[in-house]
Structure 1
Amino acid sequence: MGGELVTLFLAGDVMLGRGVDQILPHPGDPALPEAYVTDARTYVELAEAVNGTIPRRAPFTWPWGEALDLLDAAAPDARILNLETSVTQSDEIAPGKAVHYRMHPANLPCLAAARPDASALANNHVLDYGRTGLADTLDSLAAAGLRTAGAGRDLAEARRPAVFPLSGNRRLLVFSLGMESSGIPHTWAATADRSGVDLSDESSDAAAAEVTGRVRQAKRPGDLVVVSVHWGSNWGYAVPRDQIRFAHALVDGGADVVHGHSSHHPRPFEVYRGHPVLYGCGDLIDDYEGISGHEQYRDDLRLLYLVSLEPDTGRLDHARLVPLQAHRMRLRHASREDAGWLHEVLARTSRAFATHIAHDPEGTLTVRPPQGP
């Protein structure tokens, strides 16, 4: 069949609620049901205390900063991210949660500015404002023409992949799954007659088989499949064996890319049987800039993942990881020193997966499949 490489932009958590929502043109109600911070504007003030003034009523492009020009220059064939917030004005607060994210629906042009082709919703914040908030989120995204996967008004809708065309009469299918290990309450699981997320279990071989059964049923010859998975803890580089086994089962069952997220910083990169497995992409946009406590992970440093696949096989040709830094709640190029720090950490933590990560003088990290006989 031949053809040019297919390049995907993959992003981790895009958290446009709470403090980020407050700096956009249409800030929602800043009240928060949190134990220590009761006003979302406090997160903006914490960031300002570290790095300086942040404009209010900032343009919708502000949080993306220099990432937008980088993406335009890279011209990926598709853009996929994890949208980790509800899009609602609902006050139906989900019980038993310490942190709640919502953005005003009128601020959705901020998400649209990145031109995502699919937003994964199976995560631990999409129902922060209840099933009313989820319905608002689904309606708002649909009205804006933004494709989603992973959440729905029932299980069938939550499991339905986002599908869009690629060149050469191919399609890209994006499935979105969430795991309780990321903090998703089990009550958020969608059922045949209840809205929610597609909740799976990384410790279950049967759950992996169920997902790959759906992948094989939906995938046509020439299609590429991304399985976007929200799993694991917020901090740390160790990848549990259950997650590794689940990721490998996904690839064995027909997934071309495993797009993992939930951790607030990047986690190891693996090339398994020629296919990229991203165990944690880290946050891309959030309001954590002024929050202390985990400085050793440098969560101010972010990555744009540009993954180029062979069109016929879906195998990795190469991946470019572009380091950025959050500064005044806006993404900017990371310094060479900071890019070098990210390279050292990712190269070291990915070594256990036999993955080599190179680092060029401009700071970009590059992954290529291992060369075998």
Structure 2
Amino acid sequence: MSGSAATLFLCGDVMLGRGVDQILPHPGSPELREDFVRDARSYVRLAEAVNGPVPAPVDPAWPWGAALPWLAERDPDVRILNLETSVTRGNAFALDKAVHYRMHPANLPALAVARPDVCVLANNHVLDFGRPGLEETLVSLRRAGLRTAGAGRGAEEAYAPAVTPLPSGGRVLVFALGSSSAGIPPSWAATPGTPGIAYVPELSAQTAAAVVRHVRRAKRPGDIAVVSVHWGSNWGYRVPREQIRFARLLVDGGVDLVHGHSSHHPRRLEVYRDRLVLHGCGDFVDDYEGISGYEEYRDDLRIAYLVTLAAGGPDAADPGRLTGLRMLPLKARRLRLEPAPRDDRAWLRNVLVRVSDGVHITADDSEADGSLVLVRSPAPARGGTGP
């Protein structure tokens, strides 16, 4: 990082459970209780039917593939991901869930190899194996030296930000929230005496005001505030009006970056008052390869987001202002991320431009990796919150 800029790596859902867990060195029980699939190894066979044999056991770096050398070359200051997997050996399947994700704690090197600074847990799979599974997840991640946000042994811990210091003297604060719009049961909410997640029942102005008050209590001069939100449906490009307003109210209140996830494919991005809002980062690592039904959305294409923000010490002017966005298109193949071919990169760029009003994205021909770059995005009038 230079003295006046901070770089953040962001991605969407990282699901190292189920089929991915089965090809890692320490697979847990393959038992599933889905309507049509009862063995997690079936998802490995689905991937193999599409793209060929998947080795097992694989090195912990295997699922990340081409993303790791790209990150190593750019060395971002802070790495943030949504860990949508329970880390547990437990077998108490949540009764109100149709799909359950778990990875064996001994496979955590497959997460640590990406060097995440913050693992967001406020999502609709972290309690797939109940509160005992959540508590084992928290303990396992803590023992592995991995910082979390959005879940805890009580409300205070769940709603507390994860804090990463910057060399400039400022900090990156990551607050994580799980919305009912992503199918999170209200019973998963953390309470003062009950483990759970940081839960928001609705994306209303009142909820946004409560989040802003929480952010302002923690944020100091020179800090960058990130709110990571698990929200919205799995498929489709339409972003609800209340979600757009919620994000803009957060920015109006002092949030510098909104990191949205839950959709299985990338969604709208916008720049509002010089702040970046990612409404849906899409999946990143998972075992969805070979599952049919939504081919039109190309959920095999993934994006690694590298965001550059103005930074500096406590006296810096406007820390958190967006100064650059680079996106690396990747493609899931054999349960691994590979560079996306040229035609796929062009398809993804065209989709992002079409669904993101006023945003101009271009291919960076100066880079051999085929990354996409945000060139400009006119911001709405200061203070407005309508879409």
Q: Normalization by structure 2: what TM-score?
A: 0.94
Per-residue CA deviation, residues 27-84 of structure 1 (Å, 9 max, x unaligned), is 0000001111000000000000000000111010000011100001111111000000
Question: Which residue number in structure 2 is paired with residue 31 of structure 1?
Answer: 31
Per-residue CA deviation, residues 244-277 of structure 1 (Å, 9 max, x unaligned), is 0110011111110000000000001100000000
Question: Which residue number in structure 1 is paired with residue 363 of structure 2?
Answer: 359
Per-residue CA deviation, residues 261-315 of structure 1 (Å, 9 max, x unaligned), is 0000000110000000000000000100010000000000000000001114211
- For structure 2, list consecutive stretches of 5 or more residues without a partner in the other structure: 382-387
Asked if the contact 2:186–2:201 (Cα under 8 Å) also holds between the matched residues in 1, the reply is no
Question: Which residue number in structure 2 is paired with residue 91 of structure 1?
Answer: 91
Per-residue CA deviation, residues 72-114 of structure 1 (Å, 9 max, x unaligned), is 1111111000000000011111111110000000000000000
Distance, in Å, in 2 between the alignment partners of 1:277 and 1:155 is: 26
Question: Is residue 329 from structure 1 mapped to residue 335 from structure 2 by the alignment?
Answer: yes
Q: 1:315 aligns with which of 318, 321, 332?
A: 321
The letter of the residue matching 1:344 is N
Asked if the contact 1:155–1:192 (Cα under 8 Å) also holds between the matched residues in 2, the reply is yes
Q: Percent identity?
A: 62
Distance, in Å, in 1 between the alignment partners of 2:287 and 2:181 is: 22
Question: Which residue number in structure 1 is paired with residue 351 of structure 2?
Answer: 345
Question: Is residue 227 from structure 1 mapped to residue 234 from structure 2 by the alignment?
Answer: no
Q: What SS does structure 1 have at the residue aligned with 2:356?
A: helix
Distance, in Å, in 1 between the alignment partners of 2:310 and 2:375 is: 12
The letter of the residue matching 2:133 is G
Structure 1 residues 370, 35: closer, same or farther in 2, change over 3 A?
closer
Question: Which residue number in structure 1 is paired with residue 67 of structure 2?
Answer: 67
Asked if the contact 1:326–1:332 (Cα under 8 Å) also holds between the matched residues in 2, the reply is yes
Per-residue CA deviation, residues 144-163 of structure 1 (Å, 9 max, x unaligned), is 01000000111111001100
Per-residue CA deviation, residues 119-163 of structure 1 (Å, 9 max, x unaligned), is 100000000000000000000000001000000111111001100
Q: What SS does structure 2 have at the residue aligned with 1:172?
A: strand
Asked if the contact 2:231–2:261 (Cα under 8 Å) also holds between the matched residues in 1, the reply is yes
Give matches, 1:1-373, under 5 Å: 3-311=3-311, 312=316, 313=318, 314-351=320-357, 354-361=358-365, 362=368, 363-370=370-377
The letter of the residue matching 1:350 is S
Distance, in Å, in 2 between the alignment partners of 1:117 and 1:368 is: 28
Structure 1 residues 37, 371: closer, same or farther in 2, change over 3 A?
closer
Question: Which residue number in structure 1 is paired with residue 384 of structure 2?
Answer: none
Q: What SS does structure 2 have at the residue aligned with 1:251?
A: helix
Q: What SS does structure 1 have at the residue aligned with 2:157?
A: helix
Count of equivalent residues:
370
What's the C-alpha RMSD, in Å, of the aligned pairs? 1.3
Distance, in Å, in 2 between the alignment partners of 1:59 and 1:364 is: 26
Distance, in Å, in 2 between the alignment partners of 1:360 and 1:8 is: 19
How far does residue 369 in structure 1 lie from its aligned partner after superposition?
4.3
Larger mean CA deviation between 14-23 and 195-204 belongs to: 195-204
How far does residue 358 in structure 1 lie from its aligned partner after superposition?
1.8
Asked if the contact 1:317–1:369 (Cα under 8 Å) also holds between the matched residues in 2, the reply is no
Runs of 4+ in 1 over 3 A off after TM superposition: 368-373
How far does residue 366 in structure 1 lie from its aligned partner after superposition?
1.0
Q: What SS does structure 2 have at the residue aligned with 1:287?
A: coil
Distance, in Å, in 1 between the alignment partners of 2:44 and 2:216 is: 45
Distance, in Å, in 1 between the alignment partners of 2:213 and 2:98 is: 35
Question: Which residue number in structure 1 is paired with residue 385 of structure 2?
Answer: none
Asked if the contact 1:316–1:369 (Cα under 8 Å) also holds between the matched residues in 2, the reply is no
How far does residue 325 in structure 1 lie from its aligned partner after superposition?
0.4
Q: Normalization by structure 1: what TM-score?
A: 0.97
Structure 1 residues 207, 257: closer, same or farther in 2, change over 3 A?
same
How far does residue 216 in structure 1 lie from its aligned partner after superposition?
0.4
Distance, in Å, in 2 between the alignment partners of 1:342 and 1:315 is: 26
Q: What SS does structure 1 have at the residue aligned with 2:239?
A: coil
Per-residue CA deviation, residues 148-183 of structure 1 (Å, 9 max, x unaligned), is 000011111100110011011111100000001111
Distance, in Å, in 1 between the alignment partners of 2:306 and 2:335 is: 22
Asked if the contact 2:79–2:117 (Cα under 8 Å) also holds between the matched residues in 1, the reply is yes
